[in-house]
Amino acid sequence: MELICPAGTPAAFREAVEAGADAVYCGFRDETNARNFPGLNFSREELRQSIALAHGRRVLTFVALNTFMRAGDEALWYRAADDAVALGADALILADFGLMAYVAEKYPEQRLHVSVQASASNPDAIRFLIDAFGAKRVVLPRVLTVQDIARLTRQIACEVEVFAFGGLCVMAEGRCSLSSYATGKSPNMNGVCSPASHVRYRQDGEELVSELGAYTINRFGLDEASGYPTLCKGRFEIGDVAGYAFEDPVSLDVIDEIDALRAAGVSALKIEGRQRGKAYVAEVVSSLKKALRAAPAERAALVARLRAMSEGQRTTTGAYDKRWR
């Protein structure tokens, strides 16, 4: 299986290439990609140089244009697609059907991957994207079990990519409005989930309180590792019970499911983390590359140190082996 690695900056891109990535995915410094955070992403010239570096090492570059076009401002997304193709992107990762149609009609030879933001998770939806736009690969949402994926791959004629490590989103991706409810900005339209400008931490006695906009997301005790405040990973009071209603603040790690995912027909494993630094990228990519080549009994030791770099310093297999509360 290919290892698809994140890069939020040119420096992280170089680290991913050096660490053994089969492909690196990145985006422009604007609203066309779903990691539109200050200080991240690529200018056109930076992307040109990065693609040249990758091709010199036989590494692929995937450009994420994975937000949804705003009515009246479609030119921003069309221009980004034009530029990515001209710069030599090996694939475009798209979520918006209108942008898929534009790329399929104007650049029929360009490889098109369906972003996880499109939330395509059943055979009918994926077959439509193949037939209508010539999609070559679909990135599946992080809400399917291994058995779900195996049933799906048997019914479609395109490659399947799944997330293997990093931040875990449990929503119907591409349809989440929680961030925009709290901050006015959403990952789907603005490329920003829980923007840093709306995040606050404050001390309340012995508790660390995390806030997003006007909302308290969590309270952490002295011995608890604090997670980044997103509403889907907030702690809620439901009846007489306080707990995580959607998902705990932990990171995804499916190293124990590698063989099962391969047997299920998965073509590529994706690492989340374009907002993380180059040291994180280098460590995660090199460790997972070694794990993919190792015997099953050796894998846990190879990735054990990654847990300390994860959200909440804990990891989960998520929906791949979910035990729903």
- List, for residues 5-30, the tens digit of each pLDDT value: 999 999 999 999 999 999 999 999 99
Exposure of 8 in the CB half-sphere (CA atoms within 13 A)? 19
Is residue 73 located within the same domain as residue 162?
Answer: yes
Is residue 19 located within the same domain as residue 108?
Answer: yes
- Position 324 scores a pLDDT of 53
Which CATH number characterizes residue 286's domain?
Answer: 3.20.20.70
Residue 18 lies in a domain: yes
Of the residues 198, 228, 244, which one is the last residue of a structural domain?
A: 244
Q: How many domains does the chain have?
A: 2
Higher-pLDDT residue of 233 and 32 is: 32
Is residue 130 located within the same domain as residue 262?
Answer: yes
Higher-pLDDT residue of 25 and 178 is: 25
Is residue 145 located within the same domain as residue 89?
Answer: yes
* Cβ atoms within 10 Å, residue 75: 10
Given a cut of 60, is residue 325 above it in pLDDT? no
Is residue 239 located within the same domain as residue 274?
Answer: no
Is residue 62 located within the same domain as residue 146?
Answer: yes
Is residue 160 located within the same domain as residue 264?
Answer: yes
Q: Are 77 and 65 in contact, with CB atoms under 8 Å apart? A: yes
Residue 173 lies in a domain: no
Q: Rounded to an integer, what distance in angstroms lies between the CA atom of residue 63 and that of residue 99?
A: 13
Is residue 127 located within the same domain as residue 262?
Answer: yes
- The β-bridge relationship of strands 268-271 and 159-167 is parallel
The boundaries of the domain holding residue 47 are 2-168+250-321
Which pair of structure tokens corresponds to residue 156?
């479609």
- Percent of the chain having pLDDT more than 70? 96
Is residue 101 located within the same domain as residue 221?
Answer: no
Element (H, E) at 150: helix 146-153
Higher-pLDDT residue of 64 and 242 is: 64
Is residue 200 located within the same domain as residue 102?
Answer: no
Of the residues 220, 244, 268, which one is the last residue of a structural domain?
A: 244
- Position 248 scores a pLDDT of 77
